[in-house]
Structure 1
Amino acid sequence: MQKKAEAAQFPAVLELPQVDSTNNYALSRIREGLAYHGMGVFAHEQLAGKGQRGKKWVTAPGQNIHLSLILAPKSLELDHLFALSAMIAVETRAFLADLAPGNWFIKWPNDIYFQDRKAVGMLIENIVTGQKWKWAVAGIGVNINQDHFPEELKQAISLKQITGKNYDCLELANGLAKRIFTRFEALDAGFEETFTTLIEQYNRSLYKRNEQVRFLDETGTRFSAVVKAVSRDGRLELEGVPKQVYDFGELSWLMGRG
């Protein structure tokens, strides 16, 4: 037991006043041989934050969490990539639900929503050599104290808007990082048992589960389907359409979009 407790201890995240992207900074540490498993990078201001599919992640300086975590898988393999994404989504959702109990959801694949508004975006970038998964950099952006958003981000919501309280972003980032690194150790050490629990937790909190949702597919076709679950390999399972399973990137949501 003592050995497990020691394995779950990680240093405080590296604090930066400003950076183009915490993911870029973390990736540069890896390239320069200066990274280690359990390293976290936090910036008070991010000038060129990155989101999914090449989108920008734009937030007000000093008011939110801009965090990247560096992980070095030992036992995990390339077909476990979604397990990491699911784990980070589950732990981030739980972390926020502890701070502000309420209707927190995971929008496939890994955005976090409060009711129908987006509070968290993530971008995981991987370094693979041959068939060996060497590093993962998990970028997590959490809206914390920002109380006004641009018109194009009108669906965004912050923790302060939910609770009316102000928070110490760096303190929260450290708490979130330690929670994620600790769960990662369990996932890496005992994949099957840990991931079975994780995918159950993920699907229990799945956004719009058992509800009709409008989608746009790669061909430009709009359709409605019922969201059922996400499979162990990270594909969205739908009901009421001929093609019932979709990979990330094959669909866009036309309702509840972040």
Structure 2
Amino acid sequence: MNIIKLNAIDSTNSYIKENAVKNNFESFTVVLAEKQTSGRGQLGTVWESEQGKNLTFSILIKFLDFKITQQFYLSMAVSLAVLVVLKKQFEATFYIKWPNDILADKDKVAGILIENSIVGNFIKNSVIGIGLNVNQTNFSKEIEHVTSLKNISSVEIDKEKLLIDVVNSIEYFVEFIYRKEFLKLKEMYMNTLYKYKIPAMFVDKNNTVFMGKIVNISVEGQLVIELENEKTRKFNLKEIKFASR
């Protein structure tokens, strides 16, 4: 396991993308930063992290024949990998909130950002950025529904050991992609998905509130919701959110 440790960097994802080729990074190279000055979440959102308290890192994963149309399986694999480690080590109910946030009960404890390098119809490699709230206990009041592992457990967490556990878990779950066991990955993902098959209130991009339940994830990674009239609608990221948690 090749781990590159940095004190501060704008973004660990950007660092890998800028240096992977010229430095010949091997697959599963990890870049870890104590502080990210421009940490990013999905669709350009900002990831807040107190210096030295959390795990903010990225992993390079290389593929040989991973089709673009299959890319959401990587999101499934990585979110499952993080969730399984946390479930084994901490007393809380953990879920995956579509597409790949990790919740402890109803509060976000980890976020994942995946950026792919594409050649033709295939993904050549992926850079996976992970922000995991570990020992930070106070968060900005502007950010709702967020917690940390220390808040859950009331003890200081060994970040280095947790990092190794998570990376090993990611390697394990990425093997499902290498073996093309996509149906197994999806089954595990759906079984841990927050509010799966449970009626809930949603808000769409037009601020329309409606009742529905999550019944599936499309091949493209869209959220499939069954409405009260039993018809289904598909939603992309940022087109829908829970009305409340």
TM-score, normalised relative to structure 1: 0.88
Q: Deviations over 1:11-39 (max 9, x none)?
A: 14211111111111111113535322111
Quote the residue 2:239 is aligned against.
250
- Given the alignment, which residue of 199, 205, 217 partners 1:218? 205
Give the C-alpha shift of residue 220 in structure 1.
Answer: 3.8
Alignment partners' CA distance in 1, 2:175 and 2:227: 39
SS in 1 for 2:184: helix
Residue 69 in structure 1 maps to residue 64 in structure 2:
no
Quote the residue 1:105 is aligned against.
95
Quote the residue 1:136 is aligned against.
126
Give the C-alpha shift of residue 228 in structure 1.
Answer: 2.4
Quote the residue 2:73 is aligned against.
83
Quote the residue 2:135 is aligned against.
145
Q: Are the counterparts in 2 of residues 17 and 45 from structure 1 also a CA contact under 8 Å?
A: yes
User: Which amino acid in 1 is paired with 2:166?
Assistant: L
Q: Any runs of at least 4 consecutive aligned residues in structure 1 with deviations exceeding 4 A, and if so which?
A: none
> Would you say how many aligned residue pairs link Structure 1 and Structure 2?
243
Alignment partners' CA distance in 1, 2:156 and 2:30: 23
RMSD: 1.7
Give the C-alpha shift of residue 216 in structure 1.
Answer: 2.7
Alignment partners' CA distance in 2, 1:146 and 1:64: 7
User: Which amino acid in 2 is paired with 1:53?
Assistant: L
User: Which amino acid in 1 is paired with 2:47?
Assistant: W
Give the C-alpha shift of residue 232 in structure 1.
Answer: 4.3
SS in 1 for 2:71: helix
Q: Which runs of 5+ in 1 are unaligned?
A: 1-10
Alignment partners' CA distance in 2, 1:60 and 1:94: 25
User: Which amino acid in 2 is paired with 1:90?
Assistant: L
* Structure 1 residues 43-62: aligned runs within 5 Å: 43-62=33-52
Alignment partners' CA distance in 2, 1:140 and 1:254: 26
Give the C-alpha shift of residue 135 in structure 1.
Answer: 1.3
Residue 161 in structure 1 maps to residue 155 in structure 2:
no
Q: Which structure has greater helix proportion?
A: 1
Q: Which moved more, 1:170-179 or 1:30-39?
A: 30-39
1:90/1:232 CA distance change after superposition, 3 Å: farther
**Identity of aligned pairs, percent?**
28
Q: Which runs of 5+ in 2 are unaligned?
A: none
Alignment partners' CA distance in 2, 1:238 and 1:186: 27
Q: Are the counterparts in 2 of residues 19 and 46 from structure 1 also a CA contact under 8 Å?
A: yes
Quote the residue 1:8 is aligned against.
none
Alignment partners' CA distance in 2, 1:32 and 1:215: 46
Q: Deviations over 1:113-147 (max 9, x none)?
A: 01110001111001112223111000010000111
Q: Are the counterparts in 1 of residues 9 and 35 from structure 2 also a CA contact under 8 Å?
A: yes
